[in-house]
A and B are shown apart, each in its own frame.
Chain A
Amino acid sequence: MEQTSFIRRFSRHKLGTLSFFILCIISFAAIFAPVLAPFDPNEIVGGFGKAPTSEFLLGTDQVGRDVLSRLLYGTRISLMVGFLATIISSAVGIFLGLLAGYFGGPLDMVIMRFTDMVMSFPYILLVLVAAAIFQPGLWTMILILGFVDWPQMARLVRGNVLSIREKNYVKASKVAGMSHAYILFSEILPNTVAPILIYGTSVVAISMLDEAALSFLGMGIKPPQASLGNMLNGAQSLSILTSKPWLWLPPGLMILLLVMSVNFIGDALRDAFDPNQS
């Protein structure tokens, strides 16, 4: 009964529903990239920078690799970075936010000052330093992004916990002598799921953009492995921008599509979770 009304409220958001299907199709294409891609993404299969033909649907890049195949594999990387980085940062943020909000006092003080510190750090610099120290690559980037995106999540969760812990049902649990773990994970956490999911979608979008930016700067996914960011990297010169749009348009549009879809889904989730909307 709860479920059906949730889906009904979600589907009332037209753009969100459309975005959901678009994201499903893109994810499907990305997951099955090895099956769907016409060529090996890292293999030189055609001429240098050839325009789209019936053989190479989106043309070839400067070293003669198939753009469509690279786009599929690159999307795969972007989605992976987006979702895994979000899972890591959410786990850290939720955990610290719950502890800070629930126990308060000195623990809250320590956690929140640490959070402020991480937040105030120019994170591009942090990421660049981390990328220089560790081997740059997919997992390094996922971990780095995961560990810089958590402060906002921690603050969001803490704020919610602060209001929920004053609710009578939490007090009733305390009076009944329930354990802290029970109160945190069974009474409080389920009531913060909505804001966490909504904020989580925006973190997914931010992480995908960060991946693109870092790879564009050459500090993210290492070539020849394809990612949406380093596909754009290959298109830095003005002559390519004007004369060979098939090199940068597909990855650029894909980033746009992914980020917009995820954001609209976040919007739709917000509407669906808010009972006052219906």
Chain B
Amino acid sequence: MNEINSPILAVSGLKKYYNNSSIRAVDDVSFTINQGETLGLVGESGCGKSTIAKLIVQLEKPSEGKILFHNQDLSTLNKEDKHKNKTKIQMIFQDPYSSLNPRKTIGDAIKDPMLYHQICEKEEVHKEILRLLDLVGLPANSMDRYPKDFSGGQRQRIGIARALSLKPELLICDEPVSALDVSIQAQILNLLKTIQKELSLSMLFIGHGLSVVHYISDRIAVMYQGKIVEEADSIALFTNPGHDYTKTLISSIPILDPTLRNIRKA
């Protein structure tokens, strides 16, 4: 949208091969995310979109290609700079059930990384956690409770609070709603959308359904078998899809209204 801004993240020629190049999870992918922009990444299961997320947050090393964050290659930084930059890209995971340590209270799970990175003073950490919990719409007493006391949607809120606690500039959302009930999906999507606007975060939103991704993204990249086959403005993609796979994705969105459904068929 804001073409003038320099990109916060620039990925170029990114490749990730497994098993001696026999599996090409990510095959020569390039894209950019601008400051304050949400890029949607959509594609079927196993097309490599989650691998891209793991590569960006450095859970895995790319086979080839560059990931530039503020024009800096994160993999070439020295230890100290790496440590400083670690907080700036945070991730929200698909499965909210395994994303929280069952033996840690919610307060501790949020507190430890904040103190470790000296994001806030020890005296203020309590207040900060309360602020974060309030931001994601959870009651203050959640702090002393364990993950088992929370539902999937609530856990995803906790995951969001934890990610935000480190004051990231870029948020990677790896299918954050696909494990949730449809009614809860909308709540979490709205929460992410509000937070993204309020904090002017940049976001990479990964999903496998176009409707969800379309709702939250400014731009959408369509992935198919490890490659980005189409990238367009969120609205333009719907009105004028270029690639056959994009057309399939659009046509797979269920339309509840029978009249509209018939229009599409015709």
Residues of A at the B interface (CB closer than 8 Å) are: 2, 167-169, 171-179, 182, 186-187, 190-191
**Which of these binds chain A: B20-28, B85-93, B249-257?**
B85-93
Please, how many angstroms separate the alpha-carbon atoms of A62 and B101 in the complex?
60
13 additional contacts (CB under 8 A) given A175-B91, A177-B87: A167-B99, A168-B93, A168-B98, A169-B109, A176-B86, A176-B116, A176-B162, A176-B166, A177-B83, A177-B117, A178-B112, A178-B116, A179-B116
Does residue B146 face the partner (Cβ distance < 8 Å to A)?
yes
Q: Are B113 and A178 in contact (CB under 8 A)?
A: yes
Minimum CB–CB distance for B6 against chain A, Å: 24
Q: Do A175 and B57 touch (CB < 8 A)?
A: yes
Chain A, interface SS category? helix
Chain A: which residue is nearest B162 at the CB level? A172
A175–B117 Cα distance when bound, in Å, is: 12
- CB of B242 within 8 A of chain A? no
Contact partner, A2, options B83, B109, B146, Cβ 8 Å = B146
Residues of B within 8 A of A2 (CB): 146
Please, how many residues of chain B have a CB less than 8 angstroms from a CB on the other chain? 29
Asked if B59 and A174 make an inter-chain contact with CB atoms under 8 angstroms apart, the answer reads yes
Which residues in window 179-209 of B have CB below 8 A to A? none
B195 to chain A, nearest CB (A): 17
Could you jot down 23 A-B contacts, CB within 8 Å? A167-B98, A168-B99, A169-B101, A169-B109, A171-B93, A172-B91, A172-B162, A172-B163, A175-B57, A175-B90, A175-B91, A176-B90, A176-B113, A176-B116, A176-B117, A176-B166, A177-B82, A177-B87, A177-B113, A178-B112, A178-B113, A179-B116, A190-B103
Task: Please give me the residue from chain B that is nearest to A172 by CB atom.
Answer: B99
Chain B residue contacts of A179, Cβ below 8 A: 116
Instruction: Please report the C-alpha to C-alpha distance between residue A178 and residue B159 in the assembled complex, in whole angstroms.
Output: 16
What is the bound-complex CA distance between A176 and B89, given in angstroms?
8
